[in-house]
Structure 1
Amino acid sequence: MRAAVVRTFGGPEAVELVESELPRPGARQVRIKTAGAALNPVDLGVRAGFFGGAGKQIGLGWDVAGTVDAVGVASAWEVGDEVVALHEGLVKPLGAHAEYVVVGTDAVAKAPATVDAVHAATLPLNALTAVQALDLLELAPGQTLLVTGAAGAVGGFAVQLAARRGVSVTGLAREGDEEFVRSLGAAEFTTTGAAGAFDAVLDTAVLGEAALEWVRDGGTYAGVQPGAHPESVRGVRTTSVAVAADGARLAELAALVDEGVLTLRVAETYPLDAASKAHARLEEGGVRGRLVLVP
């Protein structure tokens, strides 16, 4: 089995394609034959060594879509099921950027029926991050939310999910993204924040203290880098999401794709053996949608 890994930290050239033994699913696990695996910014951080693991082989990739091809005992899935899953973990010997992926049965959900596997592969990490961050904010219908990075992958899902909950969403992004952000359900659009103007901020653009200033006194700030949120000021509750695999929640999100609530965006696809090129492209910036590796 081929898999994309890093064994030394560095730039895109550090990504290696290695041959690995075909993994076998244990109890309450499934093996998925990969049809699509999205590349995310966290993969660049892992590759660069931001999360440690020096001296180890570290597998890349969190998102996978494909077909169940083997199951362990006590699995809720059957061979042939079309699924999506989150393969979480910053330092793991094999990730989702591989021809086959073994994950826990509770991390798996039925794939959306209305999109192909390449598009489905863009759902797990980013949509789960968005919905779990919104849960932390605990907003009621009618309250105001600013989503920074609203045209990005996590931000776009957050806008759609929050608007569906009846929250009044303002999307912050570049001028050229206004039409798109409004199409996601944002009631308002801005390229700059305003001090104390919102009940909450979901800071997917990782602006930190600058975004915190846009929350009203006693409001809430949520970041998307675990533990890296700014300290509380003016009674603002600050927190950050540490995304967790949740097959039941992922199934709800997949259903929202089929209902037309969530929009899946693929910018480009790359063969698995061009993983380093995909890393280089993501590092350049300006990508709208996800880059997806196709074994």
Structure 2
Amino acid sequence: MRAVVATAFGGPEVVEVVQVGVREGVFGGAGEWIGLGWDVAGTVDAVGDGAAGSAWGVGDAVVVLAPGLVRPLGSHAEYVLVDAGAVAAAPRTADVVHAATLPLNALTAAQALDLLELAPGQSLLVTGAAGALGGFAVQLAARRGVAVTAPARAGDEEFIRSLGAVDFVSGEVGAARFDAVLDAAVLGEPALEWVRDGGAYMGVIPEAHPASVRGVRTASVGVRADGARLAELVGLVDEGALTLRVAGTYPLDEASKAHARLAEGGVRGRLVLVP
């Protein structure tokens, strides 16, 4: 089986496609590489004994979040082993490439909004709203009745407003006027300055949020697999309430090129690896 791994820490040049199997230790042991990827979309090839009696059968079209920071095998592979409880039926209205863009960023956005606990009518600024995570956050927050503002490039205004943002900022944001900030662009302390006294800041890298100031509650979301919640998000896709965006596709063997493109920045949507 082919899988995408990093053989050292570094830039896109450390990304390799390797042939893996039980003998190489990718299902346990120290290994000599780190598996890459969290998003999965595809069809069930086999159901293990531990999933007997589950709703899943061979041939089912599914999406999954397969989380894990340091592990020998990630989702960028021809086959992926996942927990049955993390699985959701794939969207009926999207092909497998678009479906692959949903799990990680949509679950992160939904779980971050849960932690913020905003009520309808409260204000939220979403950084990186033109990106995949930020775009889902705008749509999900607007659906909850939250008034969303998005700082972004002027060329992104029409798209961001179409997601449900009520205000758009292409210049200076101003200080301390929002009930909360969801920092999808990972700006850190500068974004904290846009939260009112006693408001909330939510980061998207676990334990990397700035320290509290002015009574602002600061935290970060650590996304977790949740098949039931993912199924709800799939339902929103099929209703047309969540937008799936593919910025480009690459064969699995060209994973390093996809990483290089991502490192260039300015990607609108997700880059998808196709085995």
TM-score (norm 1): 0.87
1:223-267 Cα shifts (integer Å, max 9, x gaps): 111101111111110110000011110000011000000000001
Match of residue 142 from structure 2? 163
What SS does the aligned partner of 2:225 have? coil
**8 Å CA contact 2:138, 2:163 repeated in 1:** yes
What SS does the aligned partner of 2:45 have? strand
1:196 to 176, 185, 207: 176
Match of residue 27 from structure 2? none
The separation in 2 between residues aligned to 1:87 and 1:153, in whole angstroms, is 18
1:89-136 Cα shifts (integer Å, max 9, x gaps): 011111111000001111111100000000000000000110000011
Are positions 1:6 and 2:44 aligned together? no
How far apart are 1:73 and its partner, in Å? 1.8
Where does structure 2 lack aligned partners over 5 or more consecutive residues?
24-29
**8 Å CA contact 2:31, 2:72 repeated in 1:** no
The separation in 1 between residues aligned to 2:19 and 2:100, in whole angstroms, is 23
The separation in 1 between residues aligned to 2:197 and 2:91, in whole angstroms, is 40
Match of residue 21 from structure 2? 21
Match of residue 260 from structure 2? 280
2:41 to 44, 49, 65: 65
1:182 to 154, 161, 168: 161
The structure with the largest strand share of the pair is: 1
What SS does the aligned partner of 1:239 have? strand
Alignment of 1:73-84 (within 5 A): 73-75=49-51, 76=54, 77-84=56-63
What SS does the aligned partner of 1:112 have? coil
Match of residue 116 from structure 2? 137
How far apart are 1:11 and its partner, in Å? 2.1
Give the residue type in structure 2 aligned to 1:171: A
Give the residue type in structure 2 aligned to 1:58: I
Match of residue 232 from structure 1? 212
Match of residue 224 from structure 2? 244
How many pairs were matched up?
Answer: 265
The separation in 2 between residues aligned to 1:232 and 1:14, in whole angstroms, is 37
Of 113-122 and 188-197, the range deviating more from structure 2: 188-197
The separation in 2 between residues aligned to 1:218 and 1:154, in whole angstroms, is 25
The separation in 2 between residues aligned to 1:211 and 1:201, in whole angstroms, is 7
Distance 1:103 1:112, change over 3 A: same
How far apart are 1:173 and its partner, in Å? 1.1
Where does structure 1 lack aligned partners over 5 or more consecutive residues?
24-53
How far apart are 1:55 and its partner, in Å? 7.2
TM-score (norm 2): 0.94
Match of residue 242 from structure 2? 262
RMSD (Å) for aligned C-alpha atoms = 1.4
The separation in 1 between residues aligned to 2:204 and 2:11, in whole angstroms, is 23
The separation in 2 between residues aligned to 1:260 and 1:22, in whole angstroms, is 42
Of 262-271 and 68-77, the range deviating more from structure 2: 68-77
The separation in 2 between residues aligned to 1:245 and 1:145, in whole angstroms, is 25
**8 Å CA contact 1:8, 1:55 repeated in 2:** no
The separation in 2 between residues aligned to 1:169 and 1:20, in whole angstroms, is 45
How far apart are 1:148 and its partner, in Å? 0.7
**8 Å CA contact 2:124, 2:182 repeated in 1:** yes
1:61-103 Cα shifts (integer Å, max 9, x gaps): 1001000010112422111110000110011111111000001
